[in-house]
Structure 1
C-alpha cells in the first residue's frame, strides 16, 4: 500500500492498475501467453488463471467469514487446478 498515493482515489488507482494490466496482456502474442520458460513452470496464461481462481476462492472465503459459516472451508491444490486453466 505504500506504493499507492494517499490521495483518496484508491478505487481510481485500482481501476487504472487493472486497465494497465489488461493492456499489457492484450499486447502479448498468444505464443508468449502459452510459452514456458522452463519445464514444469507455468505459462503466463496459467499464472493469470491461477490469480483469477485465487480471487474467486478468497471472495468465497470472505463471504463465509462475513456470514459466520460453520462448515469447514476446503483447501485447494493449485497445481491440480492449473491443469484445467
Structure 2
C-alpha cells in the first residue's frame, strides 16, 4: 500500500486523486486485515472443535474447504495490490 501511495505517479496525481487513492487503499488494507483475522478465528474454531464421528469430521472438512476458498480470494486481493505496486 505504501509503495503505491508514495509512488512518483501518485504524488504527481497521475494515477488519480492522491487523497482518494490514500483513502481507498486504507479501506482495502483494513478490509484485508479484518478478513485475515476472521479467517484465523474460524481456523482455530475448526481445529479445536471436538470430532465425535464421521458426520462431525465431514462437517469440519466442509468448513475447512470453505475457509481455504476464502483465503484464496484474500490472497488474490493481496496479489492484485502487489502487482499494482
Which TM-score band (shorter chain)?
Answer: 0.3 to 0.5
TM-score, normalisation: structure 1: 0.41
TM-score, normalisation: structure 2: 0.41
Q: Which has the higher contact order (CA 8 A, sep 6+)?
A: 2
- Which structure has more helix as a fraction of its residues? 2
Structure of larger gyration radius: 2
